[in-house]
Structure 1
Amino acid sequence: MNNVKSPGPVVVGVDGSDAAIGAAEWAAREAIHHDVPLRLVHVIQIPDGPMSSDPADAAEHDYAESSLRTARLAVEATGLPVKIDTAVLYGDVDLALIAESSSATLICAGSVGIGRVANMMLGSTAAILAEQAHCPVAIIRRDEKSPPFEAGLIAVVVEDRPGNRDVVRCAMEEARVRHAPVLALCVGRRALFERNRDKFYRRLDGLLRRFPDVEVEVVTTRLGVTRYLQERIGAVQLVVIGPEDAGRVAQLVGPHGPPILAHADCSVLIVRGTDH
């Protein structure tokens, strides 16, 4: 008997917002890449128990179905050959999506939250998913004025830290999926980089041979990732980080704070585990 667990879907939290629709469109390529369905879910917030039968509940359910239908049509309009499932869930939004992440290959959210009320700061649900989800998380930031998703670099820090190889590998995979170059960052003084140049390229070497079709630009910077990206506004479409940096997602995709947060098409992918 085969006990190998089948990979779960790529899940997207949908709330009717443009940000959620952008996340669904972005996630379609991920579903194709992983050969899994795209699962669009809308969570009707019920913090205190089951739904009542008053008209407000019917209106909420109609809104949920409309949101899912709009997101589905947007994905279908891309022409990508992806299987799409939809579901209306009930309960606490954060807990419902964290539960979804336990069986997902990847979970995605727009950067302004999930739910028409929870759209302040980064979006409370997006921030919670970044730190608490059980699978890799993509926080997608994009607006109508942004260039196509494929326009821009995939940025990743290459460093001597446990798990970094998986993070860099994921960045290379994303670059292949999205036909984009990788920006491999070495954060620190140039003199230190020169002393450790061979070690740095050894860490990259196997992946460069594994992904010969991916263009890689190596940059050394004394600035942190966020500060460096401020200098590259408009050039980076996705930053790939490890779970230890999940708490810094708000610094990267906003929408409030340093100038980088005006960089509306810069999204973040948090890598967890070795199965991504």
Structure 2
Amino acid sequence: MKRTIVVGVDGSPESRAAADWAAREALRRDMHLRVVHAWLWQPLGAPIVQDRDTEARRSQEVLEEATAELTHRYPSLPLTAEVLQDTPVPALLGAAKDAETLVLGTRGHGVIAGFLLGSYGQQLIAAAECPVVSVRARHGRPVGGPEEGEVVVGQQGGVEESAGVLGFAFEAAAVRKVPLRAVRAWSLPPVYGYSPGSMWIAEQFGGLEPFEKAALEQALEPWRLRYPEVEVVEQVDMGSGGHVLLSAASDAQLVVVGRRVRESSVGARVGSVAHAVLHHAVCPVAVVPHS
């Protein structure tokens, strides 16, 4: 059975852009595309005329319009389509449970104001077990860097912690036949001048920056061996993770970031770096969960 990419559609230009991106990605990676639309009959406790049959018919039309557009553009794409009888978040989380990737649309508000991820999008990215790709839209088509642009990945932590994130990024660069820019951000610890641990690192590696470069090289090594055809550009900069990654991704066609899987008192969280990139990167952003 082919691996599957799931994309959620709702008839909006943003979801059409997400479906288009997902279709091209499925063709690149020789995957099956599953197009889903979530709809659940929920009578309102208000004096508003509702017709269940009309709403059900409209939900089916949303799906048919999306699949017809994709079939016309990509006739060789294997796809299925389904209306899911549930509210959006649980419906899409269920559909993505066995998927390789879940794709969502994002509404843009311009370069300065950033992008509106929406409550559904934030909940899905924070809770999904698979990578989630957020796609920006303009006139119903994906926007972002040029097709020949790099894939940019943010690497943090050690070898095992970043394995899933780097694996996704290397595969994305390989199928696109473009370079991969691996970015690691670092900053001085608050007690740098007094910490024995920090001074030991400085002595062993000649400073914190060489230590960070060595950590990035170590994390990349197994993936370089697995994907020898991928040209890798290493970038280690001082600064916050979000700012460094956004600067590196100005001309990228895809940015890949990690999301640590952990619960807080307010539920699952996206993380500060992923949050910054999701709201301000121009190109599609893939958020990969990791332990």
TM-score, length-scaled by structure 2: 0.73
Provide the C-alpha distance between the structure 2 equivalents of 1:149 and 1:141, rounded to a whole number of angstroms.
14
Please state whether the residue corresponding to 1:91 is helix, strand or coil: coil
Please give the residue correspondences for 1:231-242 in structure 2 after superposition, counting only pairs within 5 Å. Answer: 231-232=247-248, 234-242=250-258
Please state whether the residue corresponding to 1:81 is helix, strand or coil: coil
Please give the residue correspondences for 1:112-261 in structure 2 after superposition, counting only pairs within 5 Å. Answer: 112=107, 121-144=116-139, 146=143, 150-161=147-158, 162-188=160-186, 191-232=207-248, 234-244=250-260, 246-248=270-272, 249-254=274-279, 261=280
Q: Is the 8 A contact 2:186 2:237 kept in 1?
A: yes
Structure 1 counterpart of 2:229, one-letter code: D
- Identical amino acids, percent of aligned pairs: 27
Please state whether the residue corresponding to 1:185 is helix, strand or coil: strand
TM-score, length-scaled by structure 1: 0.77
Gaps of 5+ in 2: 109-114, 188-205, 261-268
Structure 1 residue aligned with 2:14, among 5, 9, 19?
19
Provide the C-alpha distance between the structure 1 equivalents of 2:89 and 2:22, rounded to a whole number of angstroms.
19
Deviation at 1:39, TM superposition (A): 0.8
Deviation at 1:26, TM superposition (A): 1.6
Give the structure with the larger strand fraction. Answer: 2
**Do the aligned partners of residues 41 and 195 (structure 1) sit closer, same or farther apart at CA in structure 2, a change above 3 Å counting?**
closer
Gaps of 5+ in 1: 1-5, 114-119, 255-260
**Do the aligned partners of residues 27 and 186 (structure 1) sit closer, same or farther apart at CA in structure 2, a change above 3 Å counting?**
same
Please give the residue correspondences for 1:65-80 in structure 2 after superposition, counting only pairs within 5 Å. Answer: 65-79=60-74
Q: Is the 8 A contact 1:11 1:106 kept in 2?
A: yes
- Give the number of aligned pairs: 251
Provide the C-alpha distance between the structure 2 equivalents of 1:196 and 1:233, rounded to a whole number of angstroms.
20
Q: Is the 8 A contact 2:146 2:251 kept in 1?
A: no
Structure 2 counterpart of 1:75, one-letter code: L
Please state whether the residue corresponding to 2:82 is helix, strand or coil: strand
Please state whether the residue corresponding to 2:39 is helix, strand or coil: strand
Provide the C-alpha distance between the structure 2 equivalents of 1:200 and 1:126, rounded to a whole number of angstroms.
30
Please state whether the residue corresponding to 1:61 is helix, strand or coil: helix
More moved, 149-158 vs 13-22: 149-158
| TM-align CA RMSD | 3.1
- Cα deviations by residue, 1:149-200 (Å, 9 ceiling, x for unpaired): 6243222123333420221121010111233321111212594232454443
